[in-house]
């Protein structure tokens, strides 16, 4: 959605609004205050590929999903060609050469490392950094509104210079408004990538909220949107003007907080905005797994992948669910085994999680073609809280084995970040993965930042 109508030049003077208005704090530029900045990398996967391959600039480029299945990211040039999001690759492969279309498999190692580099740069500009997703983070900024905007421009320039990635910055009194400001910065070139909500005239903000559907507001899903529409709340402006107490009674506390955020009252905490309800590590197999040994190795890799994600988020979990599945289109035996394992205590220990995931194996039927498997960790809490400091008892059902220290998970994550995920693993996950079931990535770009052999070379003429 392009938000360019009602163009507001960044140099224009702000205006005050005499009537009460659910638009956050007014456009005051003098007093020192705190603001929330949302920094978002533009077209992250595409931008990461272009950072190390300048020949891709200005050319249509798509990035494919697991096993090179479908399009999950499109450059602006690819969108002009009419390539839809989610288009199966086999349907457009025949036209790729005629279009001049460039294609890449998902290079998760590259994207993960580039994300870490961006977050490291962002951390230099604040003492309060909250990583929201692989390409987004919230920062707390202090100072006048003009000073916050200046910091936003510095952040944008620094990330571009140090990582090669373009970002947009939205700054506002609340996270919900910062989300809107960020999208506005992307859709209106006059902002030059940085939009401070409180420095935009209120009539412009009002016009924007009246143009936006209620589903354009962060955290409002289609189900709630239908119910809101039924009571006459159709736009973001309608929701911002709603009575928070009434919204709480008719919907939920969560939606009430969204209304308050639209009105300029910060009330979404870090745990609520990071979406830490679960950690999922799941992949489809390039070739079906039909043996217990193959499934055991896959579960080992996935459980330790989940442990790495827990370490990255500084979390620990109490419940592990392991699952596998056959194709819904298979003419053979249909099977979708799963098992839920309560752990003795909150943990991110990769050995404990691997042992728990292996308890799915008795439910696996030898000879059946499984096309996917995965591990879900739930009942999460920050690492270092009370029960996570307890020593886990050995689970007899999981088999005897030496206990690993609580730092094993973060250590494996750090090694994987530096040398690649396949550089180290415990047990079956330490074996070199076979090409029969591992993810298909035939158009994979080099691992520019995580493998010495793929390090870019610069030659002087």
Distance (Å, whole) CA 167 – CA 43: 9
Same domain, yes or no, for 43 and 157? Answer: yes
Question: Is 134 part of a structural domain of the chain?
Answer: yes
Question: Is 196 part of a structural domain of the chain?
Answer: no
Q: What is the mean pLDDT of residues 338-349?
A: 89
For residue 358, CA distances in Å to 298, 317, 321, 368, 393 come to: 10, 17, 11, 17, 17
Question: Is 11 part of a structural domain of the chain?
Answer: no
Same domain, yes or no, for 162 and 284? Answer: no
* CA atoms lying within 13 Å on the CB side of residue 114: 29
Same domain, yes or no, for 326 and 415? Answer: yes
What pLDDT, on a 0 to 100 scale, did the predictor assign at position 27?
Answer: 46
What pLDDT, on a 0 to 100 scale, did the predictor assign at position 57?
Answer: 92
Q: How confident is the model at residue 385 (pLDDT cuts 50, 70, 90)?
A: low
Same domain, yes or no, for 379 and 445? Answer: no
CATH number of domain containing 132: 3.30.70.270
Is residue 410 predicted with pLDDT exceeding 50?
A: yes
Q: Which residue range(s) make up the domain with 291? A: 278-383+407-429
What pLDDT, on a 0 to 100 scale, did the predictor assign at position 271?
Answer: 54
What pLDDT, on a 0 to 100 scale, did the predictor assign at position 178?
Answer: 95
For residue 132, CA distances in Å to 30, 126, 175, 291 come to: 30, 15, 11, 38
Q: What is the mean pLDDT of residues 407-423?
A: 60
Same domain, yes or no, for 282 and 419? Answer: yes
What pLDDT, on a 0 to 100 scale, did the predictor assign at position 421?
Answer: 56
Structural contact between residues 24 and 173, judged by C-beta atoms closer than 8 angstroms: yes
Using only the alpha carbons of the chain, give its radius of gyration: 24
CATH number of domain containing 356: 3.30.1490.100
Question: Is 188 part of a structural domain of the chain?
Answer: no
Is residue 24 predicted with pLDDT exceeding 60?
A: no
Q: How confident is the model at residue 14 (pLDDT cuts 50, 70, 90)?
A: very low
Question: Is 203 part of a structural domain of the chain?
Answer: no
Same domain, yes or no, for 108 and 146? Answer: yes
* Torsion sign over Cα 106, 112, 118, 119: positive
Distance (Å, whole) CA 407 – CA 338: 29
Question: Is 316 part of a structural domain of the chain?
Answer: yes
Same domain, yes or no, for 163 and 43? Answer: yes
Same domain, yes or no, for 417 and 286? Answer: yes
Predicted confidence (pLDDT) per residue in 99-154, tens digit: 999 999 988 888 888 888 898 899 888 888 888 888 899 999 999 999 999 999 99
How many domains, in total, are found in the chain?
A: 2
Predicted confidence (pLDDT) per residue in 423-445, tens digit: 555 655 555 555 455 667 778 88
Lowest mean pLDDT among 238-247, 329-338, 369-378, 418-427: 418-427
Question: Is 257 part of a structural domain of the chain?
Answer: no
Same domain, yes or no, for 126 and 88? Answer: yes
Same domain, yes or no, for 292 and 417? Answer: yes
Same domain, yes or no, for 283 and 327? Answer: yes
Question: Is 354 part of a structural domain of the chain?
Answer: yes
């Amino acid at each position: 959605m392009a938000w360019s109508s009602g163009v507001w030049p960044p140099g224009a003077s702000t205006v005050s609004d005499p009537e009460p208005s659910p638009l956050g704090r007014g456009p005051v530029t003098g007093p020192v205050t705190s603001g929330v900045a949302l920094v978002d990398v533009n077209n992250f996967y595409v931008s990461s590929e272009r950072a190390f391959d300048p020949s891709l600039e200005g050319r249509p480029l798509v990035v494919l999903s697991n096993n090179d299945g479908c399009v999950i990211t499109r450059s602006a040039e690819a969108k002009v060609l009419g390539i839809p999001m989610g288009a199966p690759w086999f349907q457009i492969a025949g036209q790729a050469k005629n279009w001049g279309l460039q294609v890449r498999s998902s290079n998760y190692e590259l994207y993960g490392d580039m994300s870490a580099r961006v977050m490291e740069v962002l951390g230099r500009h604040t003492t309060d950094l909250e990583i929201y997703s692989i390409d987004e983070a919230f920062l707390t900024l202090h100072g006048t509104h003009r000073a916050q905007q200046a910091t936003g421009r510095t952040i944008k320039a620094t990330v571009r210079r140090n990582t090669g990635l373009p970002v947009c910055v939205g700054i506002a009194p609340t996270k919900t408004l910062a989300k809107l400001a960020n999208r506005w910065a992307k859709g209106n070139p006059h902002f030059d990538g940085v939009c401070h909500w409180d420095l935009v005239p209120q009539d412009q903000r009002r016009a924007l909220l009246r143009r936006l559907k209620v589903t354009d507001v962060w955290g409002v899903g289609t189900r709630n949107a239908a119910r809101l529409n039924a009571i006459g709340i159709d736009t973001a402006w309608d929701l911002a003007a709603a009575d928070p107490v009434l919204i709480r009674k008719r919907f939920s506390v969560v939606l009430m907080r969204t209304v308050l955020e639209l009105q300029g009252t910060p009330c979404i905490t870090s745990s609520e905005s990071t979406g830490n309800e679960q950690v999922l590590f799941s992949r489809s197999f390039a070739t079906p797994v039909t043996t217990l040994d193959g499934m055991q190795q896959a579960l080992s890799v996935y459980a330790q992948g989940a442990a790495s994600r827990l370490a990255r988020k500084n979390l620990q979990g109490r419940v592990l669910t392991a699952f596998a599945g056959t194709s819904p289109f298979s003419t053979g035996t249909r099977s979708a085994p799963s098992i839920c394992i309560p752990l003795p205590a909150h943990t991110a220990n990769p050995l404990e999680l691997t042992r728990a995931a292996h308890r799915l194996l008795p439910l696996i039927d030898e000879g059946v073609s499984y096309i996917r498997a995965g591990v879900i960790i739930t009942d999460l809490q920050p690492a270092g809280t009370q029960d996570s400091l307890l020593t886990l008892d050995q689970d007899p059902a999981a088999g005897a084995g030496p206990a690993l220290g609580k730092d094993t998970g973060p250590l494996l994550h750090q090694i994987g970040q530096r040398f690649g995920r396949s550089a180290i693993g415990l047990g079956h996950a330490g074996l070199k993965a076979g090409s029969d079931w591992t993810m298909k990535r035939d158009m994979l770009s080099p691992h520019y930042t995580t493998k010495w052999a793929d390090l870019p070379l610069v030659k002087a003429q």
